[in-house]
Amino acid sequence: MARKITWHKVLDNKEELLPGRVMTVQAGHAEVCLTHYDGKINALDNKCPHQGGPLGEGSIENGLLRCPWHGWDYDPCTGKAPGFDDGVEAYPVKLEGDQVLVGLEEEAPHETTITDTMVETMLNWGVNRVFGMVGHSNLGLADAFRRQEEKGNLKFIGIRHEGAASFAASAYGKLTGKPAACFAIAGPGSTNMFTGLWDAKVDRAPILALTGQVATQVVGTGNFQEVDLVQAFGSVAEFNQRVEKQSKHSELMALAVKHAILKRDVSHLTFPDQVQTLPAEGIDKPKTSDGRVAELQIAPPAQTLNDALGMLKKAKRPVIIVGHGARFHMPNVIALAEAMNAPVLTTFKGKGLISDQHPLSCAVLGRSGTPIASYFMNESDLLLVIGASFSNHTGITPKKPTIQIDFDPMALGKFHQVDSLVYGEISATVGLMLDRLSEFNENKVDQRPEVADRWAIWRAEKQKRLLEDRGHGVSSIAVFEALSKLAPANAVMCVDVGNNAYSFGRYFESREHSFLMSGYLGSIGFAFPAAMGAWAAVGDDRPVIAVAGDGGFCQYLAELTTAVHYNMPIKAVILNNNELGKISKEQRSGGWDQWATDLVNPDFAAYATSCGALGLSVSRNDELEEALQQLFAHKGPGLLEVKADVKLI
């Protein structure tokens, strides 16, 4: 039985369609080709049956409507193809005054699809943020996202470059410990995500990559935008599957998210065109995480813990070094430090895990660090290293007795022999140490007065460096001293790579801040997309600040329009020295000629204004504080360009 006819207004004024012309109009969810021929307006199915060419973009020649793609001809009134037994359907048209209405059969109710079931499973597992770009090979999956967003269950953020999507999702995972999804079309859209996915992988951040794909039957034939994405993602994805008609669809999504969470790694699912809109099987219900994830509070073996406590008992001047892996376990770590009066040093990736206002904080150790941290490492008689990787950038000495605690057995003793390797979940392990304080805490030196003394020496040194001014722009120390003073105390700080990052680690004094960076991958361009990921996690509950050099910000310059589009109140501080300053420095220190590191930049403040954000610019130290106050007082997205001296870092 034919469904009821529904009338759709497609033109407010019939005069919009001139005699002898055609156009495409929207009638509900259908595109319709309108023709004005032989004195009347007609409506035809817009898709040429040959390859779906849009007839409304064609033209009437010699009394026939010609398809714009391949020249198939149709009667502009009836839709019949002269000389053939096919054609396109014609729809009823009526005029109401000047308005044009087209009658179509009433749309059938939406039938739950494979992608509906998989997206609902994804949401049930807690993945409710998606960064990506909608395109021709992911439209079925995109429509499943749309339906969930309309219900208020999901937030989709449409970005300008897929690399920004994966960086944003990586940052979200680093900040929250939960995966977000990045989303792209087949071919170049998917390959654009690789850098952000590798960033997540090497920094152990959970992330879910969802990609559209051309129809399976043309994979391997050189079809347009055809890349074998399962093969392509094989090196980066811990879980990597193609969704097929016969797949157990909700279970496949559940396994993808479970791998991302438990492995702290990349999961990838690719969706060929032909499966995205297939009806879901009635028995394939959305899965939840109930009964699927075990308790992870794993304690270390008793003898291992006893050996570590024996070393702690002998130590008089222990120090604690915490890395990025300890970021969700700091209450217990700080309690242990306070019980032992032990200084706490962090890796650069662990910056801010303890406030620099805490009497035991010694800030960052290593190349991006302070002389406070290096002093206490050198003066210690034991290192208790928690959730850190012993990277060269941090430079944890192998010459001191060391206890290492980590949840990942492969991270234990990774680069050299360590005296005591403690395999266990960090909160559980440190909690057990706290329970047994009386066994090892009687002979500890109270190092708090020394910490205060070393901070006083370092702050006096910073005041001396603040006086340096060569007349070629603002010094980095001036930028980060002003930021230390004026940045909201609980802001999420997103850091790029380059000299700006080194100066940030060294000079910025943290309070309740969280820090996000591209750690092991060290990818330029991370900061601003990461700020979008941070905003997706914290919303308006915490301020979000991106700090980048001119080289890094220009990598994803257009994402400022994304921030404006979604009214993300991200504040960007851009250190502009018209140079890839860190690379120039490496060329000079390596005895190379300085070459190909100079940059031509836009007026960043004017660019921000043109995007609809606040744009500010300063070129002198004495302008910084007022500009930062104005930036942080602004309600929406804003950018401060600091014309910086490349030599004063």
**Is residue 331 domain-resident?**
yes
Which pLDDT does position 1 carry in this prediction? 52
* pLDDT for position 224: 82
**3-state SS track over 601-621:** CCCHHHHHHHHCCEEEEECCH
- Has residue 287 been placed in a domain? no
pLDDT in tens, 114-132: 999 999 999 999 999 999 9
Q: Are residues 164 and 269 in the same domain?
A: yes
pLDDT at 636 over 80: yes
In 513-603, which ranges are continuous DSSP H helix?
527-538, 550-555, 559-565, 581-589
pLDDT tier, 225 (very low <50, low <70, confident <90, very high otherwise) = confident
Q: How far is the C-alpha of 359 from the C-alpha of 449, rounded, in Å? A: 8
For residues 128 and 155, give the distance between their C-alpha atoms in angstroms, rounded to a whole number. Answer: 6
Residues 253 and 320 in one domain: no
Residues 335 and 230 in one domain: no
CATH assignment at residue 575: 3.40.50.970
- Residues 342-378 have pLDDT tens digits of 999 999 999 999 999 999 999 999 999 999 999 999 9
Are residues 314 and 441 both part of a single domain? yes
The count of structural domains within the chain is 4
Residues 369 and 424 in one domain: yes
Predicted confidence (pLDDT) at residue 84 exceeds the cutoff of 80: yes
- Within this chain, do residues 69 and 118 fall inside the same structural domain, yes or no? no
Do the domain assignments include residue 292? no
Measured CA distances, 612 to 567, 573, 602 (Å): 10, 17, 16
234 — alpha (psi -120 to 50), left (phi > 0) or beta?
Answer: alpha
Strand pairing class (318-322; 382-386):
parallel
Six-digit token pair at 107?
């749309």
What is the DSSP-derived secondary structure letter of residue 599? -
Contacts of 243 (CB under 8 A, 6+ apart): 114, 118, 249, 252, 269, 270, 271, 272, 275
pTM metric for this prediction = 0.94
**Per residue in 89-104, pLDDT tens?**
999 999 999 999 999 9
At 578, the pLDDT band (50, 70, 90 cuts) reads very high
Answer yes or no: is pLDDT of 283 > 80. Answer: no
Least confident window among 224-228, 272-276, 291-295: 224-228
Q: Is residue 457 part of a domain?
A: no
Is there a single domain that holds both residue 180 and residue 259? Answer: yes
Where a domain ends, among 42, 73, 105? Answer: 105
Q: What would the mean pLDDT of 159-167 be, rounded to a whole number?
A: 98
Rounded Cα distance between 526 and 295, Å, is: 33
Q: What's the confidence (pLDDT) of residue 282?
A: 79
**Are 613 and 503 found together in one domain?**
yes
Minimum mean pLDDT among 225-229, 338-342, 555-559: which range?
A: 225-229
**Closest listed residue to residue 203, CA positions, set 170, 164, 233:** 170
The pair of structure tokens assigned to 351 is 């910056």
Range with the poorest average pLDDT among 385-394, 504-513, 563-572: 385-394
CATH number at residue 404: 3.40.50.1220
pLDDT of residue 2: 63
Do residues 427 and 487 both lie within one domain?
Answer: no
Nearest to 41 by CA among 130, 97, 106, 101: 101
Among 421, 450, 479, where does a domain finish? 450
What rounded mean pLDDT belongs to the chain?
95
Q: Are residues 332 and 410 in the same domain?
A: yes
Domain ranges, residue 72: 5-105
Q: How many whole angstroms from its chain centre is CA 546?
A: 13
What CATH number is associated with residue 46? 2.102.10.10
- Both 244 and 344 in one domain: the answer is no
Residues 6+ apart with CB under 8 A from 314: 382
- From the number of C-beta atoms within 10 Å of its C-beta (0-12, 13-18, 19+), residue 376 rates as buried
More confident position, 222 or 158: 158
Whole-angstrom distance, CA of residue 586 vs CA of residue 404: 32
Is residue 291 a part of any domain in this protein? no
Domain end position, chosen among 56, 76, 105: 105
pLDDT band (50, 70, 90) for residue 327: very high
Quick check: is 462 in a domain? Answer: no
Q: pLDDT (tens digit, 9 = 90+) per residue, 454-506?
A: 999 999 999 999 998 898 899 999 999 999 999 999 999 999 999 999 999 99
Instruction: Please check whether residue 87 lies inside any domain of the structure.
Output: yes
Kindly report, residue by residue over 29-64, the tens digit of the pLDDT.
999 999 999 999 999 999 999 889 999 999 999 999
Q: Verify that 416 and 527 share a domain, yes or no.
A: no
Residue 290 lies in a domain: no
List, edge to edge, every strand of the sheet that includes 266-272.
155-158, 129-132, 181-184, 207-213, 266-272, 239-242
Better-scored residue on pLDDT, 3 or 632: 632
